[in-house]
Amino acid sequence: MNTLTHVSQEDTHILHRQLRSGLPLAVGGEGAWLIGADGKRYLDGSGGAAVSCLGHAHPDVLAAMHAQIDRLAYAHTSFFSTEVAEQLADQLVATAPEGMSHVYFVSGGSEAVEAALKMARQYFVEIGQPQRQHFIARRQSYHGNTLGALAVGGNAWRRAQFQPLLIDVTHVAPCYPYRDQAPTETPEQYGQRLVGELSQAIDQLGGENVIAFVAETVGGATAGVLTPVPGYFKAVRELCDRHGILLILDEVMCGMGRTGTLHACEAEGVVPDLLTIAKGLGGGYQPIGAVLAHHRLVDAFRQGSGLFQHGHTYLGHAVACAAALAVQQVIARDGLLDRVQVLGSYLEQRLRAELGQHPHVGDIRGRGLFWGVELVADRDTKQWFDPARKLHAKLKADAMARGILVYPMGGTVDGQAGDHVLLAPPFICSEAE
């Protein structure tokens, strides 16, 4: 490290994400703001990657973490449970979609997806259907960077070089009306067409061979916030039920209040079999994720082997649970889900008013405090910018120079997705911020 404010590539021993550029040092946080070592303040317009739902340095969360550290920081889950983990599980189950009875704690989103995939597979082994070996997921999706999660994910760029290591997963179209809905179709008809495609994929594999359909309820990090059309998930749920296929909804990014309901699937009127949550669960105060499981699966495990054959050293970490419990209590106490809806409408209104007619803004879409702006070279043809221009990287750097953090993506291979900017500000933002 060669200066107090900035780390350069030549001097760092951290294998950072980018090996050709340096990074400013962050030394503090305050509400919706991050503070650099040079004193520069950054408005956290994306909550990192849709993580910091309560912003930074929330006093109630810090107090809860301090209290837990003073009491007990860590006890291995093969020896003990802890009061705080039990309380957090009680809270999550009390607010979970109906029938979801248990929580499996992990340290983040990819781990949550890995655990959900294994839970789904083991469920069918437990109930005597070991022939079920296939997952179906969607293109332009992201489910994490570990090998199982990467395999179900449909982000072509992230998958490309690891393809030979990935289990074979069938990918169908995501719900992406701006690009895929035909002018002659209503949103509902478009949704039905997508479910028809899923149905064909199931038939090709044989419904009795499929473990689960995996989808982000509201797509996030690959195509810049994809909200489902009305009725899509209900029809998906019915189709899965007809074949005995599990529905795994990944709400690592869109869940825990981000879209204005605690779980995004509430707005779709569906209950999944497994629901993954992470980012907003601990709000960035500690690394924590979880899988919410339907009692049907848990009952099968109980009556079968009596063991979920999985586990990590840090699952249910006491300080992480304390942080998450405090984050969730603050959200409930301060009515922040309502606040997300009010602020979200305001953000939408301002985005549409100020960017809606911009020649390079193709689409503005989202829900709650989760918004994506899709950038195009040409509004009429919806043509993307050349990925080689790395527009998203320039945009990120330019916004940072202006003191704003946004989360842009783009330039993926196979022409699958172009440049997008994702906005996911903390729920505690003011209108002015």
The least distance separating ligand PLP from the CB of residue 35, rounded to whole angstroms, comes to: 24
Nearest residue (CB) to ligand PLP, 110 versus 261? 110
Contact 82, 90 (CB under 8 A): no
Residue with the shortest CB distance to ligand PLP: 109
For residues 168-177, b (16+ Cβ closer than 10 Å) or e, as one string? ebbbbbbbbb
Total residues belonging to the chain: 433
Nearest residue (CB) to ligand PLP, 221 versus 364? 221
- How far does Cα 250 stand from its chain's mean position? 6
The least distance separating ligand PLP from the CB of residue 245, rounded to whole angstroms, comes to: 20
8-to-5, 150, 399 alpha-carbon distances in Å: 10, 30, 20
The least distance separating ligand PLP from the CB of residue 129, rounded to whole angstroms, comes to: 26
Q: What is the DSSP string of 304-370?
A: TTS------TTTT-HHHHHHHHHHHHHHHHTTHHHHHHHHHHHHHHHHHHHHTT-TTEEEEEEETTE
The least distance separating ligand PLP from the CB of residue 95, rounded to whole angstroms, comes to: 20
The least distance separating ligand PLP from the CB of residue 45, rounded to whole angstroms, comes to: 16
Q: Which residues bind ligand PLP (CB under 6 A)?
A: 49, 108-110, 113, 142-144, 216, 220-221, 250, 252-253, 278
Contact 419, 395 (CB under 8 A): yes
How far, in Å, CA of 220 to CA of 229, rounded? 15
Nearest residue (CB) to ligand PLP, 133 versus 146? 146
Nearest residue (CB) to ligand PLP, 215 versus 347? 215
Nearest residue (CB) to ligand PLP, 175 versus 221? 221
For residues 338-373, b (16+ Cβ closer than 10 Å) or e, as one string? ebbbebbeebbeebeeeeeeeeebbbbbbbbbbbbb
How far, in Å, CA of 246 to CA of 261, rounded? 23
| DSSP-derived secondary structure letter, 278 | -
The least distance separating ligand PLP from the CB of residue 111, rounded to whole angstroms, comes to: 7
- Tokens 């478009």 locate to 190
Element (H, E) at 134: strand 134-138
The least distance separating ligand PLP from the CB of residue 142, rounded to whole angstroms, comes to: 5
Contact 143, 155 (CB under 8 A): no
Nearest residue (CB) to ligand PLP, 36 versus 144? 144
The least distance separating ligand PLP from the CB of residue 250, rounded to whole angstroms, comes to: 5
Nearest residue (CB) to ligand PLP, 250 versus 273? 250
Nearest residue (CB) to ligand PLP, 31 versus 255? 255
Nearest residue (CB) to ligand PLP, 126 versus 250? 250
The least distance separating ligand PLP from the CB of residue 232, rounded to whole angstroms, comes to: 17
